[in-house]
Structure 1
Amino acid sequence: MTIRQLEYFCAVAEGRSISAAARALHVAQPPISRQIAQLEAELGVQLFARESRGMKLTEAGQALYRQSRSLFLNLRRVEENVRSIGAGEGGRINVGVIYSAMPYALHYLEAYHARYPKVEFYIRLGSPQDLLNDLDRGELHVLFLRRSTQESGSLHERILGEDALELIMTAATDPAPELDAVPIERLRGVPMCLLRSDDLWGYNDYLMKECRRSGFEPNVPCQCYDTPMAMQLVRSGFGISFLPHSIVETHPNSGIYAKPLRGIPAKSYPVLVWSDDVLGAPCVQRFIAES
């Protein structure tokens, strides 16, 4: 049984005659008659009842017609899907996101989905180093990370914006509740929940160096593996933290807010990261080009 046989069969079923099918397909009648006869012989059933008013489907013919129409519909969908993937309008993009870059990632993912709704996203949340390892293994296509400088790393990067590094706190732990910005001296003795000392982007080291430059050793009773844990500790009142300002947006109505350090402008740069090894997929290329 071939696609051509099914195409001829459906045309005869819809036109109720060989001649009508021939006109619809722009094919001579004998080839259609031969293909229908071969199809009936291969299946071992009669597909049409020949009547004076035309050719009527038998019960077996009706079953074959329903399944043939479904098959042709699926074939068209396959063709459309393959064409859209080839044009970058379909396919799947594996995305890695660190927690503090989530506001930026959501903005770009939502905008891209609005333009190309057939593209699927697989999104993984993880630590910077774990995501970089996955990118190196080819398991992820692009990453949303952060840098504490504007200098590019070894991979391809595009800076997506600028975000102030600020102290994250609650009203109960605010070291300067009467001020809009916190003087560095007010951090003396204040418990701080900072990212671990091997934090890839150096937020921890930056703040600790500023404290020591001001003549005191920072009070860091807790170092966290990741940003969500730091935020939970801040929310519980364990201490304050030092993170990108936009991270507060991920905790609405939580009582958490941010304040800058007075006279110490610190920046974080959200970046899109990718590798040449994953540029084969058209949808990935388009996502990188349009982000």
Structure 2
Amino acid sequence: MDVRQLRYFCTIVEEKQITKAAKVLHIAQPPLSHQLKLLEEELQAPLIIRDARKWEVTEAGKRLYQRAKQILQLMEDAQKEVTEIEQGIQGTLSIGTSSICMSYLTDHLSSFHNTFPNVYIKLLYGDTYALEEMLQQNLIDIALLLLPVEQENYHILSLHEDPFVVVIPRQWEERFPESTISLRQVAEQDLLLGRRTSGNGMYENIIQLFKAQQLEPRIILDSPDISGLLTLVATGMGVTIIPQSEVHQVYQDNYKILPISEPFLKTRPALVWLKDKYIPKAVNALITAFQTSL
């Protein structure tokens, strides 16, 4: 059994078909089938049941897949670690974030690049659920997302709480001369809300707070794109409720920001990365930058 066979086996399991796995691996199907057969003979155990009626990974196959993924990850981590000893902080830093947390990254990425110009930054977007999936699949090194998450799987660096505010068009300022706004007043306006593409999130929590006060908000639009919501608010289409950090100072001439008079939601963004995995120097440098700003 060698590393190549383990990589082949993992790909077969993930693609759920030898033909598809062969295409991913850029090899012909017969040699791949032969390698699987050799692996089963060496281990003296069937790993995948495959016939015309059934394709299923056996219990032995599931255990091998789990261990093989760990071995392959350890090899990848070892290669990164040795390379960094020789070459210092460089390579690719893959960061996952949700649109609602993006403002926290913008405060750090420019200075990070100036300090580590040889690090290529790859930025991926998703909601909390999608970002956790990316972490588990090693598609990203670290995620900036909203808590809560399953803490047993991750190292977590909690950032400052971020209160929700109501953002109204600047041209509506005379309608709302006060320094705060009530939920009842918000419910009387056309409302644009952020909403994740899957699962429950802040959208559902906001609705529940309205219902708790026996209010029915007049929601006319929802979107996962916070910047898009702000653009629409600036046109006078309606108002939105978002974390205060998402209203960038440079654009505040287009809006008026009003705290909510009743007790309301606060977000808790956090940097999250996997336990039991080698942390590249670039990731550690980013974590340190966030820690020093707390």
With the length of structure 1 as denominator, give the TM-score of the two structures. 0.60
How far is 1:278 from its partner? 5.0
Counterpart in the other structure of 2:233: 234
**Counterpart Cα distance in 1 of 2:200 and 2:244:** 15
User: Shift in Å at residue 203 of structure 1?
Assistant: 2.2
1:232 and 1:253 map into 2 onto residues whose CA distance is: 12
Instruction: Tell me which residue corresponds to 2:103.
Output: 103
**2:181: which partner in 1?**
182
| Secondary structure, aligned partner of 2:254 | coil
Residue by residue, what CA displacement relative to the aligned partner does 1:242-274 show, whole Å, maximum 9, x if unpaired?
111111107615612321110324311221111
What per-residue deviation string (whole Å, max 9, x for no partner) do you get for residues 151-199 of structure 1? 9585332112221111122134569511111022212331111123767
Once the two structures are aligned, what percentage of the paired residues are identical?
Answer: 20
CA distance change for structure 1 residues 198 and 99 in 2, over 3 Å: closer, same or farther?
Answer: closer
Distance 1:114 1:197 in 2: 33
**Alignment correspondent of 2:207:** 208
Name the structure 2 match of 1:288. 287
Q: Following TM superposition, by how much is the alpha carbon of 1:286 offset from its aligned partner in structure 2, in angstroms?
A: 4.1
Larger Cα-atom Rg? 1
In structure 2, what is the Cα distance between the partners aligned to 1:120 and 1:218?
A: 44
In structure 2, what is the Cα distance between the partners aligned to 1:87 and 1:161? 34
Find the counterpart in structure 2 of residue 141 from structure 1. 141
Alpha carbons 2:210, 2:217 under 8 Å: kept: yes
Q: Could you tell me how far 1:138 is from its partner in structure 2?
A: 1.0
Provide, for residues 39-78 of structure 1, a one-character-per-residue CA deviation record: whole Å limited to 9, x for no partner: xxxxxxxxxxxxxxxxxxxxxxxxxxxxxxxxxxxxxxxx
What does 1:1-291 correspond to in 2, within 5 Å? 86=86, 88-147=88-147, 154-173=153-172, 177-196=176-195, 202-249=201-248, 252=251, 255-276=254-275, 278-291=277-290
Q: Quick one: distance in 1 between partners of 2:199 and 2:170?
A: 29
**TM-score scaled to structure 2, two decimals?**
0.60
Q: In the aligned structure 2, how far is the partner of 1:257 from the partner of 1:278?
A: 45
Query: Which is worse superposed, 254-263 or 85-94?
Result: 85-94
Residue 54 (structure 1) aligns with:
none
2:219 partner SS: coil
In the TM superposition, what whole-angstrom CA distance separates every residue of 1:63-108 from its partner, at most 9, and x where no partner exists? xxxxxxxxxxxxxxxxxxx865557522221112222222211223
Higher helix share: 2
Q: Is the 8 A contact 1:87 1:282 kept in 2?
A: no
Contact kept, 8 Å, 2:84 with 2:281, in 1: the verdict is no
Q: Does the residue aligned with 2:210 lie in a helix, a strand or coil?
A: helix
Secondary structure at the aligned position of 2:140 is classed as coil
Q: Measure, in 2, the Cα distance between the counterparts of 1:256 and 1:276.
A: 42
Unaligned runs of 5+ in 2: 1-81
Indicate the RMSD between aligned Cα atoms, in angstroms. 3.2
Distance in structure 2 (CA, Å) of the matches to 1:239 and 1:247 = 17
**Number of paired residues?**
209
Structure 1 position 200, deviation (Å): 5.9
